[in-house]
Amino acid sequence: MSSVIESIETLLVDLPTIRPHKLSMTTMACQTMVIVRMRHSDGVEGLGEGTTIGGLAYGPESPESIKRNIDAYLAPLLIGQPADNLNVLRARMARHTRGNMIAKSALETALLDARGKRLGLSVADLLGGARHAHLPVLWTLASGDTDKDIDEAFQRLDDRRHCDFKLKIGARDLDEDVRHVAAIKAALGERASVRVDVNQAWDEATAVRGIAALQDAGIELIEQALPAREHAGLVRLANRFRVPMLADEAVADARDGLDLAARGFSGAFALKIAKSGGPVAALELAHLAQTAGIGLYGGTLLEGTLGTAASLHAWSTLGELAWGTEMFGPLLLEDDIVAEPLRYHEFGVDLPAGPGLGIALDEDKLAHYSRK
């Protein structure tokens, strides 16, 4: 007899970061995760995570809205339903609710985790099978202080933890941002690649000036220089410069990917299970990109270990990630709520082993950090 979804619990979990994390739209000193515990009639529990950046600073979902909308609208669609047919449950959520992709991603992850545990298979197995057991991971330098960022980068290199770095820019004057980035690239030289993420902060005229200077400084990738909906401008930038453009907020799912590809976009797509609504839709976008000859990058919304593990299982099934991944979210947190942390070493991270996500909760830590 098929297992039935019996209950879905959501918890807001607040974890402090190791340092302030500066982006163009906010500065983070704490990350709030929505943890999903989905219990089934056969005793299996599936775990999921829904996480965004800076409350409502990044996008239309906040941690509080994610929890509320799962509790009030999405969970009732799933409770009492047979748990085994993921496609039916995804379609049920899509038919009855609009948007809320982070919330849906957390639930899809919990469904996959439970099914994997039930069958003795990893989430990667359920998604077609892992092609990589170790994935490269870059580090974001986001203190905002040039000397601190340089010291941090050299420490990560010496520890063999990271050899690619991304800089968050766009909050300051353009010339100041360019000087900051160029100084870091000059200090690192050929030891590491340096990319930038503008987080939609520039208009096209500013982007043309900024990208020209960053290209001359040796920067290897420019992420989302323009607002998300300006697809035509993003294509113009991609065609104008040698340095590749990375579309992030502009490409949430395969429909966005098809539009950019049809317009002649030639850069790379940042994959995120949260913005796509779960691992399955994120992989649909990845396969479309591969067909169109567009590079791939495994992105994050700074999830904790559960959300990071779900993404790693998805990215592990892909043949090539031309630009690696940024699955460093757990390393940005002072503490964790899992029994065993992910293993970061040799400039990357190991795919967790075991059924489902391969992750178990530390109940004491979860209780300590859960919002009362």
- Taking the C-alpha atoms of residue 112 and residue 96, their distance in angstroms, rounded to an integer, is 21
Q: Is 204 a catalytic residue?
A: no
Tell me which H or E stretch contains 271: strand 268-271
Tokens 């899809």 sit on residue: 108
Q: Is 326 a catalytic residue?
A: yes
Catalytic residue among 166, 168, 185, 272: 168
Among residues 104, 102, 138, 190, the alpha carbon closest in space to that of 321 is found at 138
C-alpha dist (Å) from residue 135 to 12, 349, 351, 361, 366: 29, 5, 7, 23, 27
The Cβ of residue 158 has, within 10 Å, a number of other Cβ atoms equal to 8
- Taking the C-alpha atoms of residue 90 and residue 95, their distance in angstroms, rounded to an integer, is 9
Catalytic residue among 61, 108, 230, 326: 326
Tell me which H or E stretch contains 12: strand 5-22
- Indicate if the alpha-carbon torsion angle 167, 171, 177, 183 is positive or negative: negative
- Taking the C-alpha atoms of residue 295 and residue 288, their distance in angstroms, rounded to an integer, is 11
Catalytic residues: 168, 326
